[in-house]
Structure formats: C-alpha cells, structure tokens
Amino acid sequence: MSEGKLEKGFTPVRTVRVLFAVIALFGMFILFMERALGVVLVMAQQMLNLAFARYGNFTGKFAAKNFAEDKKLLSMLQEMKDLMPLADTAMTILLVLSVVLLVVALVGLALPRQMGHVLVAIKLLKWVPVEGGEDVSGEQFALSRESLKKMGIVVGVILAVILAVFGIRGCMLVANAHTQEAALQELDRQVNVYMATQRVYFKTNKAIGNAKQLGLDTLVEGEYYTFTVGRGHIAAESKVDLANCPAGARWSVTAATGGFISRELKFYRVLPKNQDCQKFTPNFKRVGQDR
C-alpha cells in the first residue's frame, strides 16, 4: 500500500517533467509576448506611415510649420520612429529566448532521467531520502534553498541585463531625438532672424545690409552651431555630430537683389554636400519663406 502511494507521488521522473513543463510554459508566455509586440509594431508602423504621408503634403507641411500642436505631434512621431529599431531588436531577443526555453523544455520532457542527473550535477536539484513506510524507502529530487536562490539570481541577472540594455538604449534614442530637434530649432531660429532682419532693412534702404547695419553679431556661438554673419549672408557650421551628419557641416543663406523693373530681395539657400546632412535638414530649402 505504501509502495503504491510512493509511485503515485512525485517520482524523480515526474519532478523533472514538472520542472521542464514550467519552463515550457514560461517559454510560451515569452513567445506570446513577442507575437503581441509584433502586432503592436505593425499597427504602429502603419500609423507612422499614414502620419508622415499626411505631413508630407502641402497642408501637412503648412500645419507642421505654423501650429505648435502639429510641431509637437510631428516631433513625437519622429521619436516613435526612432524607437522602432529598438522594438525590432526586442522582438528578436524575445523570439530567440522563447525558442531556447522551449527546446530545453522539450529535451527535459523527452529525457527526464538524463536531464535530472544534469540538474543534480549543476546543483539545481539534489537527492533527498523518502520514507514510504516500514519496508519502503527511496530517493527523490528536491529543490534546495540554495538552488532556488541560484535560480532567482540567474533570472534576476538576465532580466536586469535585458532591462538595462533596453533602458539605456531607449534613453539614448530619446536623448538623441531631443538633441536633433533642438539642433534643428536652433538653426531655424537663427536663420529666420537673419532673413527677417534683412527683409526689414531692404524694405527701408533698398540695399543688402551687413551684420552691423542689421544690428546682428558677426559671430554667434550656439549650442550646436557656430553662426557667422557677413554682408549678404549667414552661415552655420555644426559643432557636433547630428545624427549621421558629421561635425563641421556648413549651411548658408545668401541674400541678393534681382529684377529688371524693380529691385527684389532674394535668398539662396545652400546645404552641405553630405547626403546625411541633407537628410537631417530636409526643410532647409524652405526656411524663412514668406507665409
């Protein structure tokens, strides 16, 4: 009777199978999270595509340039776009982790005796005596407190590393997005001041003014650019790397007069030759345009 009770209890094989079944459930949960994240990413990408298509036409560009709410929304959309590669990496890691856990669980369920000895060898399980009655005794697997602590430490370290990597990477992406937005605003602000001042001076004097005549400093040290103002031009040279645009890139706006019947003020905008710098400031060709 006691022997039957012992066989119906948690035998070594059943203990190992239960343990690997828990691992399989954990792997399936991670796989579910990866699939759910994939669905969310597809929806987010569709939203981004629609949003950038909306802001890519004439009315969208006008709204993004003239309304604070649209500027803020466009900035948030850009930050979301910058986070998409991070989310793709997270999906890959979750998929690999779930596959590894499921494979390990499958091996453990298929070969419980061998995997039991492996777990004993790495001291995650230990043999403990089991008394089944007067004439019945045996040994059973058990999780010691030390092994539980080890498993908790390993799981905690893995989670901490994953959270740290993604947390740091996410903070870096957000910080870079804010830096790029601030750099664009600084360039737009300084160039717009120069062009607006030049328009006022030309309207009064019918001539192009230099920095002194316009009441501007010839050299302005910004956070991201060094601005120089001369007769009929303003130039901005980047002091730091901006996205993939290297430091030392130069943007400029030159003022000139034209027209046969009446003199008109015209501005010519020049972007850096570097393609990455041109992508960084796609709206520079329209900076300072009359609204």
Question: What distance in Å separates the CA atoms of residue 213 and residue 205, rounded to the nearest whole number?
Answer: 11
Q: Are 239 and 247 in contact (CB under 8 A)?
A: yes
Q: Where are the domains of the chain?
A: 2-143, 187-286
pLDDT tens-digit readout, 24-83: 898 899 889 888 888 888 888 888 888 878 777 777 777 777 777 777 787 788 778 877
Question: What distance in Å separates the CA atoms of residue 158 and residue 160, rounded to the nearest whole number?
Answer: 5
Handedness of CA 95, 99, 105, 108 (dihedral sign): negative
pLDDT tens-digit readout, 141-165: 555 566 656 666 766 776 676 666 6
Higher pLDDT, 89 or 228: 228
| pTM summary value | 0.48
Q: What is the mean pLDDT of residues 1-29?
A: 70
Question: What distance in Å separates the CA atoms of residue 113 and residue 11, rounded to the nearest whole number?
Answer: 11
Distances (CA, A) of 191 to 1, 35, 186: 93, 47, 9
Question: What distance in Å separates the CA atoms of residue 218 and residue 22, rounded to the nearest whole number?
Answer: 70
Percentage of residues of the chain with pLDDT beyond 70: 76
